[in-house]
Amino acid sequence: MRTTIKTAWALLALALGLSVAAPSWAQIDDKYKDYREVYRDTVTAQPRTEIVAKKDTLIDPQRVMSNSFGRNWFVYGTVGAHTFRGDYSSWGPFWGTVTPDVSIGFGKWFIPGLALKVEAIYSNSRGYTEYMIGNEGYGYGEQIGTHGGTPYRRMKTPWIDLGALVCLNLSRLFNGYEGYGSDRMLGQWMANIGFSGIHHFGYNHAYGSDNEWAGHFELQYSQFFNKNKRVSLDIKARDILYQTNHDLQYGQRDRAAHKFDNNLGLDVGFTFYLGNQRNNGWSSGAATMYRNEYREREIQVVKVKEEEVIKPKNAKHGVLSFYVFYPNNYSGRNDAPLIEDAPVNALDYLAGGIFTQKQYASSEAVEDRMRTGASLNGLETVDLPTEAANQDFAVNFIPRGYEMLTDQPISLSLKPADMKSFEDKTGYFYAPIWDGLNVWQYRIDDATLRQQLLSAQNYTETATFGLNAHSGLDIIRKNMAVDSNDELVSFADVYAALKSNEGYISQFTDEATVTRVREILDNGIVLLIQVEGLATSQDNYSGNDAKRIGTERNTALSQNRAGTVISWLKQDPSLKDASSQIYLVGSMNGGIRTVTDKSTRGLNAKLGRCVKVRIQYMMQ
């Protein structure tokens, strides 16, 4: 009943306030210059904006965008053997037709299912020929037998083949693109079809051509070694089909030659994909970087003056504000898989999470590689569930959460001794997120995994200012635009008020502040909740239209951060039934804070990765 009355008061106050301004919204003149545009959350099934709706239609694992010309190149080499099948191949023993071959080539994937490659093959075709053809052809040596009364001897023609083939990745064409960094489809089937020009050399013959055309048909199986898919072991069944005079037989001497000659063989080799890991994946449309988890809300632009919201007499009103700070490239979306119904919760991670919330699946595999000094890249990892921070953690010997402590680093060293010490105390090895040459040591969104940072040092979080703790409020007041009339509290204070001020989180809160926040939520009437996201200008994209793309994906990051906080606030009993009309969703200063520092660990960068929340309330 109390919730219903509170909601009714809030809607009445907001409706009266907006009705004052509504008649004038149709006119734009100087008297409204102090209005600012905000976004109203109306909770419908429609997308936020038209541009986001278009991007969301592209979020399909089987629909991708082609990459630029400089990306997705590969080189390969094979060795193997083939049997030449010509007019006389059956006249002598089978092994007399078998010859080793070697090939090298390079190519480019245009989409996950289609590539073009160019290759060179060096070998020769061996077999048998009529003895009477003589040395003017490819025959050599003495007679070795007869066939139907016709004497024959050995034949050999060295050649080099230069060809171009279309590669069809059958696994991806039938099953769809498995996704970047996926451990699915480590084995893939391919069909390669093309044509080539072949040049014979090494013998002087009286008739026939030194050069001819050939058709190529290959069935290939590629086995990748890990989910990065940088190197594959390839097995190819190959058929090279020639016009009938490959063995200089045209049907002369009253005999009909075979219509085609061919080399039929089996080859084994390796393919190496060039460039760093960003070159080995495709985006599922532009929306891969900008996916919006909150598209169930329709965002409408309205203009509001806070002083025009009419409030009942004899009511004390105020504004409670707090900031939530995020690691780089983390919007806070709960994008990790569920573990026994225990998700990696974004706000629990910020309050008391541990590193990347991942561990290696096999401690034995880690120890084996440590003993030999091998890289841990490619080992299987599993997600660790987050734990609510209002409890005492069993793993309590390391700093936990993001921007809570001010005197300890929050990334674990990857030195074997430090990792082993951690495993001795926890029973498992912490796992960073490997992305080619990039080694993330804190949690990020899957959608931003491929964004390469400016320096290797930025992949760790070794600097901390306590911005999410109560002790960090002085830094926030000095560096952020906080209204002098706002009651500024910390994320830790609000977290403790919504959960409980116990356990781990209690060391980062102020007890009186937590009590005050809980009093407002329990006994006050919430009139308006303004949630504004912010991201930094730091972006490494350098392709076409880099400025626009960088702005778009950072703006989307700021909006996703804001949406995460809204979902979290609505979990509280005092707010979950509140009408969505009281939420205003926007972006601070356009959603992007300019940062000139190249480090993502500096104070300026950390201040720019946040969400600002202002809760307008009144107390009777």
Q: Kindly report, residue by residue over 315-333, the tens digit of the pLDDT.
A: 688 999 999 999 988 888 7
- Position with higher pLDDT, 296 vs 362: 362
C-alpha to C-alpha distance for 399 and 461, rounded to whole angstroms: 11
Tens digits of residue pLDDT in 460-472: 888 889 999 999 9
**pLDDT number for residue 577:** 66
Tens digits of residue pLDDT in 305-314: 444 444 455 5
Tens digits of residue pLDDT in 570-611: 888 878 766 666 777 766 666 677 777 778 888 888 898 889
Whether residue 46 is predicted with pLDDT greater than 60 in this model: the reply is no
Q: How confident is the model at residue 19 (pLDDT cuts 50, 70, 90)?
A: very low
C-alpha to C-alpha distance for 1 and 537, rounded to whole angstroms: 46
Tens digits of residue pLDDT in 172-212: 888 877 776 677 889 999 999 999 998 887 655 555 567 88
Beta bridge partners of 488: 321
Q: Annotate 399-451 with DSSP letters as a single string.
A: --SSS--SSS-SS---SHHHHHHHHHHHSS-B--EEETTEEE-S---GGGTT-
* Best-predicted range by mean pLDDT (147-151, 386-390, 616-620): 386-390
| 133-142 b/e (C-beta count within 10 Å ≥ 16 → b) | beeebbbeee
Task: Enumerate the CATH 2.40.160.20 domain ranges in the chain, comma separated.
Answer: 73-280
| 59-97 b/e (C-beta count within 10 Å ≥ 16 → b) | beeeebeebeeebbbbebebebebbbbbbbbebbeeebb
Average pLDDT for 92-96: 89
Whether residue 254 is predicted with pLDDT greater than 50 in this model: the reply is no
Question: Lowest-confidence range among 21-30, 73-82, 278-287, 599-608?
Answer: 21-30
Both tokens of 320, joined, read 């409670």
Q: Pick from 485, 429, 481, 471: which is nearest to 616 by CA?
A: 485
**pLDDT number for residue 77:** 96
- Position with higher pLDDT, 228 vs 486: 486
Both tokens of 225, joined, read 């070694």
C-alpha to C-alpha distance for 154 and 131, rounded to whole angstroms: 8
Question: Lowest-confidence range among 214-228, 244-258, 596-610?
Answer: 244-258
Query: If you classify domain 73-280 with CATH, what class do you get?
Result: mainly beta
Q: How confident is the model at residue 5 (pLDDT cuts 50, 70, 90)?
A: very low
Residue 150 sits at φ, ψ, to 5 deg, of: -100, 120
**pLDDT number for residue 457:** 81
Whether residue 299 is predicted with pLDDT greater than 60 in this model: the reply is no
Whether the CB-CB separation of 526 and 616 falls below 8 Å is answered with yes
Q: How many CB atoms lie within 10 A of CB 6?
A: 22
What percent of the chain lies above the pLDDT cut of 70?
72
Question: Lowest-confidence range among 104-118, 202-216, 219-233?
Answer: 202-216
Whether the CB-CB separation of 270 and 235 falls below 8 Å is answered with no
**pLDDT number for residue 127:** 86
Pairing state between β 487-488 and 438-440: unpaired
Question: Lowest-confidence range among 89-103, 281-295, 404-418, 554-568?
Answer: 281-295
**pLDDT number for residue 177:** 78
Would you tell me the crossing angle of helices 491-498 and 511-523 to the nearest 10 degrees?
60
Average pLDDT for 371-386: 86
Whether residue 34 is predicted with pLDDT greater than 60 in this model: the reply is no
Whether residue 485 is predicted with pLDDT greater than 90 in this model: the reply is no
**pLDDT number for residue 482:** 86
- Position with higher pLDDT, 446 vs 526: 526
- CA-CA-CA-CA torsion sign (600, 366, 335, 451): positive
* Best-predicted range by mean pLDDT (273-282, 538-547, 577-586): 577-586
Q: Pick from 82, 109, 271: which is nearest to 177 by CA?
A: 109
In total, the chain counts a number of residues equal to 620
Q: How confident is the model at residue 518 (pLDDT cuts 50, 70, 90)?
A: very high
Pairing state between β 583-593 and 525-536: parallel
* Amino acid present at 585: V
What does the mean pLDDT of the chain come to? 77
- Position with higher pLDDT, 205 vs 506: 506
C-alpha to C-alpha distance for 64 and 329, rounded to whole angstroms: 22
Whether the CB-CB separation of 40 and 21 falls below 8 Å is answered with no
